[in-house]
Chain A
Amino acid sequence: MTATAIQASAADNRPFDAKDGKLVIAHLLVAFTALLIGGIAGLLQGLVRGGMIELPSELGYYQILTAHGVLMALIFTTYFIIGFLYAGISKTMGGKLIGIASRLGWAGFVLMTIGTILGTIMILANEATVLYTFYAPLKANPFFYIALVFVVVGSWLAGYGIFLQYRYWRKTNKGKISPLFGFMAVSTMLLWQIATIGVAITVLFQFIPWSFGWVEKINVMISRTLFWYFGHPLVYFWLMPAYIAWYICIPKIIGGKIFSDSMARMAFVLFIVLSVPVGFHHQLMEPGIAPIWKYIQVILTFMVVVPSLMTAFAMFATFEQTGRAKGARGLFGWLKKLPWGDVRFFAPFAGMLVFIPAGAGGIINASNQMNALVHNTLWVTGHFHLTVATTVALTFFGVAYWLIPHVLGRQLTPKVNKLGIIQTIIWLVGMFFMSASMHASGLTGAPRRTAYTTYGDHPDSVLWMPYYVVMAIGGTILFIGVILMFYNIIALMRAPKGDASTVAEFPIAETAEEAEPTPRWLERWGVWVGLVIVVVLFAYSIPFGDMLINPAPGSKPWVTW
């Protein structure tokens, strides 16, 4: 009998710390409010492109698009992630946040919220219609960039709180391996810290001085390269918390155990090391980067597929092992043993299934020649509505159904569970129509990030219109899903109180018996950070150095909207 990772299974039945609960709920409420407003924006976009409505003159399509991107892909995601991670580290690493961690969590929340409000005001005032990627030399009001700084620095503070809680746990539990949730939370925020360095440098040293007029010109390729250094690991910042829910919570929900603690940690270490040096696959169609470096970063991109392959295996292994332990027979009998009627399982599982076409699409996008066909088309939009807006979103929704009532000492009632199943199905139907049409029309060249147009009735463009109509229908169905989700959140907040046996549990699985204990070297963070630095220097120093040494002429600001 060998030692396995110690999970805080006893803590499942303890009530969640009330003070920490407020921090978690604050983050989740901002997240779902952002989802609602971002959802309204998305609905309007779909209806405009489908030719069904015209916007009032005070509102621009690109303004709404900026709001949609920022609120969904930055605010909803970041706030939910921080809320979820803080809940997990409070639960598994001591039962309660230490003072400094709680204060950092709140400080981060305040800074991010100031930034969110300031940014939203700038966008609504049409001062920052630059889309959520804010590419130079489009120039927004400097306070838009300052708002972004507040959001990112706030998220750093949240990360430091998580690191300090982890350090506290290790000091008070010497010799024990860290709880898996804590390990994964630290991995996620470590990746985030490394990734955001790129966007921080470009915003602080390029965009802000340039948008205030202190500096006349901006080097466009340098700003893009710094942005995409950040932009790819950003998606892993979203994916890793979803994987945390899959690795740790889902096995408990289905009545099983974690398949392999070591391999789960290994996957997260691989994400830390391989997520960053791959930004060029978002820049394949750009000048100023030598083809060999584009190809090298494509190779690295393909390598980061591996930890997702590991995760897929671990999930299905868990399902099968659990099913067979419950008496399932035959090749696929274990499928019947899964709790399909439980939204805590059903929503994340739907996310897992969708990740199959989503990930395949990602591999296509990263492939040099195929990228030429799909770059900046609606295909890309179809892809990320599967990855972040379905896989990650449905997993986060599935987590909310137990996290909110658990933290508040309430129940997940059968009625809300049922509404959750319905919401998930609505989401899948709407997303199927919308994303499938996006992929199909994008393949024939339909551009993304473009308002209603028929390009002078050119035949190619006329052929896209039916797809846009289907997208509008899918988007409308999704909007109904957003409304229902928001309703469910309110219902969860007001659910009946529970006692020790009826309160929604915080599902934390134990590990199945492993042949060997989890190796300690997985926790040698210094080694992993060192490896990231080496790989990033390898992938970027020559091409980026070339941009610095032989810079292209810079650009003055442009406000073209």
Chain B
Amino acid sequence: MHIHRLEKVWLIIGVVMLFIFLGVLGIGAFAMGMQPPTGDHTIDPEKVSETYPFNNPGLEQIGDNEYNAYMIAYAFGFTPAKMEIPLGAKVHFQVTSPDVIHGFQITGTTVNLMAVPGEVNHYTYTFDKPGEYLVLCNEYCGAGHEYMATTIIVK
């Protein structure tokens, strides 16, 4: 099949760029730990508040300025609300939902994960900057969706 010389040049440039992008993504994800949120951890959505670790939501210290944060996204709020985190803490979020799918986004950070009933989602973030961060639900979940928010206070 005849391909015009200039088209070959164009496509080669395009494909090379795509591969460079894929390389950046791949190295970022697999070598530098910048993976998207993930979880291989299931839970019965009807028993969330009785099941470890969500029977005790909130921060659990596991190291020097390192914590697990167990949070529940429900219609229409987050537990615990207004959580306080020490500045510089490395936080491993574990989030689930006892009802419908919710989003869990901390604006101004890379924390943006889906809270799916039946599953626990995991994501790690280090809070280097102090402030009162807005946590909001960005996946439609019903009539109160636009009110579903809380804050995380880092100081």
Contact = CB atoms under 8 A, between A and B. Distances in A.
B42 A552 contact: yes
A460 B134 contact: yes
A309 B16 CA distance: 12
Nearest to B151: A458
A372 B36 contact: yes
Interface in A363-381: 363, 367-369, 371-373, 375-377
A558 interface: yes
A287 B119 CA distance: 7
Interface in A69-115: none
Given A317-B4, A368-B29, A552 B118 contact: yes
A516 interface: yes
A306 B139 contact: no
A60 interface: yes
Interface string A44-74: 0000000000000000111001000000000
Given A376-B139, A453-B146, A290 B118 contact: no
B121 A262 contact: no
A553 B45 contact: yes
A317 B6 CA distance: 10
Nearest to B39: A287
A247 to B, nearest CB: 14
Given A137-B117, A558-B99, A515 B46 contact: no
A444 interface: yes
B140 A306 contact: no
A368 B35 contact: yes
Given A220-B117, A376-B112, A514-B2, A553 B18 contact: no
Contacts of A371: 36
A461 B137 CA distance: 13
A445 to B, nearest CB: 3
Contact of B143 (A444, A553, A561): A561
Interface stretch (A158-166, A201-209, A294-302): A294-302
B134 A455 contact: yes
A86 to B, nearest CB: 30
Contact of B7 (A313, A445, A516): A313
A267 to B, nearest CB: 11
B114 interface: yes
A302 B2 contact: no
Contacts of B142: 62, 138, 558, 560-561
Contacts of B6: 313, 317
B65 interface: no
Nearest to A302: B18
B21 interface: yes
Contact of A62 (B39, B40, B41, B145): B145
B24 to A, nearest CB: 8
Given A295-B26, A445-B108, A369 B34 contact: yes
Contacts, number: 219
Contacts of A295: 25-26, 29-30
A447 B2 CA distance: 47
A445 B99 contact: no
Interface string A332-374: 0000000000000000000000000000000100011101110
A447 B103 contact: yes
A23 interface: no
B110 interface: yes
A200 interface: no
Given A219-B118, A298-B22, A453-B146, A285 B36 contact: yes
B14 to A, nearest CB: 4
Interface string A450-461: 111101101011
Nearest to A283: B114
A262 B2 contact: yes
B100 interface: yes
B143 A299 contact: no
B122 interface: yes
Contact of B10 (A309, A368, A444): A309
A310 B134 contact: no
A305 B25 CA distance: 16
Contacts of A447: 103, 105, 136-138
Contacts of A458: 132, 134, 149, 151
B46 A453 contact: no
A191 B11 CA distance: 24
Nearest to A61: B146
Nearest to A286: B114
Contact of B1 (A138, A284, A519, A550): A519
Given A302-B21, A305-B18, A519-B1, A556 B10 contact: no
A278 to B, nearest CB: 13
A558 B100 contact: yes
Interface string B119-140: 1111000000000101011111
B116 interface: yes
A414 interface: no
23 contacts: A137-B117, A220-B101, A220-B119, A221-B116, A260-B7, A263-B7, A287-B38, A287-B40, A309-B10, A317-B4, A368-B25, A376-B138, A444-B107, A445-B136, A447-B137, A451-B146, A452-B146, A455-B136, A460-B108, A553-B46, A558-B75, A560-B142, A560-B143
Interface of B: 1-4, 6-7, 10-11, 14-15, 18, 21-22, 25-26, 28-30, 34-46, 75, 99-101, 103, 105, 107-108, 110-114, 116-122, 132, 134, 136-147, 149, 151
